[in-house]
Each structure stands twice: as structure tokens, then as C-alpha cells.
Amino acid sequence: MAPRKNKISNSKSTSNKKNPNGISALSKNDSDVFAFISPVGNQLEMLVFGCETEELLYCTDITNVQQFISDIPKAFDPKFKAIILQVLTFTNEKYPNNIQFCEILKKKLDSTKIPYFFLSDLNFILIQSIICGDMKINIGQNVAIVLYEKAFKLEYTKNGYKLIEIIFDEKEMPKMMNIQKVLVSADKNQRKFMSIFKSNNPIIIDINSQEKDIESIIEIKKWMLDKSYTKNHVIPITLRKYNIGYEFGGTDFTLMPTDFGTVLPYEKSVICSKTCLKYFIGYRENDKEKAKFKYLKHKIFKLDGEAHDFKITLKIDENNFPTYQIENIVHKCIVNFPKFCDLYKKEMIALENYPIIGILENYSLICIRKNGKFEFLESWGGQWGNPMHISFDKKKPQFGKIAEETLVKHGKYGIQEL
């Protein structure tokens, strides 16, 4: 699933037209056009097809990526009805990482109002496989596609093919249930997998075809312009294992993980107590120079504001862009704590002159009697409370917020939830 070394435009079934005097001049038999952009080696290639004839009208190498992105608003005129971008693994020295590159590209595309779709390599390969297998199955039926030593089980739904599971262990593959069709990629291990799925009458497919590349691009365009067209559509899936994490004592911890191949769009939430931790959206990205994966923090944020708890929601749209949303949660039982103390006082007269302490997770709240009624002690954080932490990195113990910050920074020298 690495960037192609060969150009789709070199296919014998297409013409290689470069440097026209405007793309519109080439589309004499097409009222509209669409584009496909993908990496070729260390640069990008853009192909432009006619929407009606589905012929390749124009192709160009994009060597200056920054200039290309800058020119997008004027380069893509209203004749463009769709832009497909297979760039989710593309890296360029002008951009720190792929997501930042894609976000800058997305911002420029948004200004054109032209529909676009960021296509993952896996999505593209699965679509190619389905086309090669000449699929004819009904809604609710399943297909297994064997690629790269893995078996992908997909169910055909009204919205397209939905990824159900990925089997990495070949010993578990025969246990896959309710499979109507099996497609095995033509490679050095095809005989082994043909044997594993022998009872399912598997079909060998060859996805290494530039003609199939173009056919797949056209099928994606059809779905973009008509979402009811799902014959060969694979519902988008995540390219990376995104997660919500946090930093503690110089170490990163995962709070809410996602799996590779998660169906998009995706949304999941988690409730967090109030802390001074730094949270982030993280993921692993392939470091081509060092030939290994590196962990990246895409967005770093804190849980600030007046609240008792926070709800963090991780969202990943169908274009593989992760975002987070924070909702401040206020508990009525805490807001009404002084009223509870007033009622409690009537039953426990002996305590009416003493502060009453409430505890919520790692925070404490104090109510004191004033003017005949209980109210929150504002010097202790009012209704939002104060952290229950003590740190011992100084000569004298530190308490509350200062102690919490010490514990979070070093991961030691203190205790919490007293």
C-alpha cells in the first residue's frame, strides 16, 4: 500500500496529454470533469477525466506542492465536479507530517466548494479487489478479500461494502462464518490461501493493473456524485490507529484508542475528571528516513473551564480527519450541595457550626455556614472545588493545584485522591 512508482497515465488504454491551454479546451465532449491526485514517488500526479466520456483528458506532474495548493482556488474552475485525493500517506519536506499537509490542502479545497474525497490506500485496494472479482452479491451477504497475508471480511449494505473484521492469523481464517464469496490476491502465497478457502470456491484476482486503477477511480467518482450508487463502493475506513491520550510524568498514556480499519465516520466519547493533564490526539506515522514508525501528537489540549467533569469526544470524518470536542459537565447534585447541607444540618444539629466537606473524584468541596445558611467556601474553589493532592518536592509540602501540577509533570513526588 505504498505510493505507486508507475504513473496511471502511462496506461496503454489512455492518452497522455500534458500542458494544455486550459483543461476546459480539452473537454469538448464533456460538460464536466473530475480529478484524481495521488503520489508517484516523491511528487504528486494529477489526472483529469471527463465525467461523461470517462476519458483521460489531462495529466501533469506536481513537483512544487506548495505552489499547487496555493493555486487551487483558481486552478479548479466550476467544470470540476469532484476531486479524489489518494494522499493520506504522502510526505513532503515542506510539511511536518501528512495530516498537516492534508489539512492545509483541505482548507484550500473547501474554498472551491467542489466535492472532494480523501481516499485511503486500503479503501482503494479493496475497491479494486471488488471490481476485479466482478461482485454480484445481495445486501446482507459477505465477501472475504485476502490481501497482504490478511483476510478482510466485508458485508454488502445499502451504503456499500462495510468492513466487518480483519483476520491477521491464517489459522483463524477458516473460522470466518457466513462468507458468500472469497477473493484471493494473485501473489506468491495465493496457493496457500486458495487451499485455506477451498470450500468457498475462491477466485484469484490481480489488482496490479493500471486499467483497473482507472476503472476504480471512475467508480469512486460515480459514488461521489450519486451516493446511492454503491455497486463497488467500500465505506471509508481509518488509515491510522488514532487515539485520545494524555501526558503524565513525561510518559504518554492512551485513554481512548481506535483500531486500524475502523468504519467512518466514527465518534466515541469518554468522561474525564477535572485535571491539569495535557491531552492529545495521537497516531503512529511511518518515518521513511528511519524506516520505522514514529508517534505523533496531532493536537494537544487541556480540560479548562468551570465544570465538574468533562466529556471528550473523538470524531473522525469520512476523509480520515480526526477532531475532538469537549463538553463541560456540571452536576446538579454538586451545585445543590449547600441545600443538602442545610437539610443535613437539621438532622445533625451538632454539626451546624462545622464545615461540611464533599468529595468528587480527585476534588473536594467545602460548605460553611454563613448568615444562617450553608454556602460554598470560595477560597477553596467554590462549587468547582480544589484538587486533593500533596507534593513533597519542596522543603514544605505543597497542596492543591500546585501539588497536582508537580505530580503531573514528574509522575512522582506526590500523592492524590486523599
109 neighbors 142 (Cβ within 8 angstroms): no
Percent over 90 (pLDDT), the chain:
69
Mean pLDDT score of the chain, rounded to an integer?
88
Query: Kindly report the CA angle at 415 between 409 and 418, in degrees rounded to 5?
Result: 135
Return the amino acid letter for 242.
Y
What is the Cα–Cα distance from 143 to 163, expressed in whole angstroms?
A: 10
Question: What's the rounded mean pLDDT across residues 193-207?
Answer: 95
For 311-368, how does the pLDDT look when each residue is reduced to its tens digit (9 = 90+)? 999 999 999 999 999 999 999 999 999 999 888 776 666 666 788 999 988 899 999 9
For 125-175, how does the pLDDT look when each residue is reduced to its tens digit (9 = 90+)? 999 999 999 988 999 999 999 999 999 999 999 999 999 999 999 999 999
pLDDT category at 16 given cuts 50, 70, 90 is very low
Q: Residue 116: its pLDDT value, please?
A: 98
Of residues 307 and 396, more confidence is placed in 307
Question: What's the rounded mean pLDDT across residues 198-203?
Answer: 94
Helix (H, G, I), strand (E, B) or coil at 351: helix
Of residues 330 and 14, more confidence is placed in 330
Nearest to 61 by CA among 72, 47, 80: 47
Q: Residue 11: its pLDDT value, please?
A: 44
Question: What's the rounded mean pLDDT across residues 192-210?
Answer: 94
- Helix spans in 57-148 (H): 65-75, 98-110, 121-132
260 neighbors 242 (Cβ within 8 angstroms): no
Query: Kindly report the CA angle at 280 between 275 and 281, in degrees rounded to 5?
Result: 145
Q: Does the pLDDT at position 7 exceed 80? A: no
pLDDT category at 290 given cuts 50, 70, 90 is low
374 is written with which cell numbers? 450553608
Q: Residue 287: its pLDDT value, please?
A: 64
Beta carbons within 10 angstroms of residue 408's beta carbon: 20
pLDDT category at 15 given cuts 50, 70, 90 is very low
Helix (H, G, I), strand (E, B) or coil at 236: coil
Q: Does the pLDDT at position 2 exceed 70? A: no
pTM for the predicted model, two decimal places: 0.86
- List of residues 6+ apart from 403 with CB closer than 8 A: 387, 389, 390, 391, 397, 414
For 144-155, how does the pLDDT look when each residue is reduced to its tens digit (9 = 90+)? 999 999 999 999
Task: Show the domains of the chain with their CATH numbers.
Answer: 8-119 (3.30.420), 122-210 (3.30.420), 243-329 (no CATH), 332-416 (3.30.420.40)
DSSP classification of residue 396: S
Beta carbons within 10 angstroms of residue 338's beta carbon: 20
Q: DSSP labels for 357-393? A: EEEETTEEEEEEEETTEEEE-GGGTGGG-EE-EEE-S
Q: Residue 417: its pLDDT value, please?
A: 54
Q: Give 126's Cβ-side CA count (13 Å radius).
A: 28
Q: Does the pLDDT at position 45 exceed 50? A: yes
Q: Residue 1: its pLDDT value, please?
A: 44
For 57-102, how does the pLDDT look when each residue is reduced to its tens digit (9 = 90+)? 999 999 999 999 999 999 999 999 999 999 999 999 999 999 999 9
Q: Residue 413: its pLDDT value, please?
A: 57
Q: Say which range, 188-202, 221-235, 267-281, 403-417, has the weakest mean pLDDT.
A: 403-417
Q: Residue 19: its pLDDT value, please?
A: 44
Nearest to 120 by CA among 210, 239, 261, 240: 239
Q: What is the widest separation between alpha-carbon atoms in the chain?
A: 94
Return the amino acid letter for 406.
T
Helix (H) or strand (E) run with residue 402 in it? helix 400-410
Helix (H, G, I), strand (E, B) or coil at 336: coil
Beta carbons within 10 angstroms of residue 349's beta carbon: 8
What is the Cα–Cα distance from 325 to 256, expressed in whole angstroms?
A: 14
Q: Residue 89: its pLDDT value, please?
A: 92
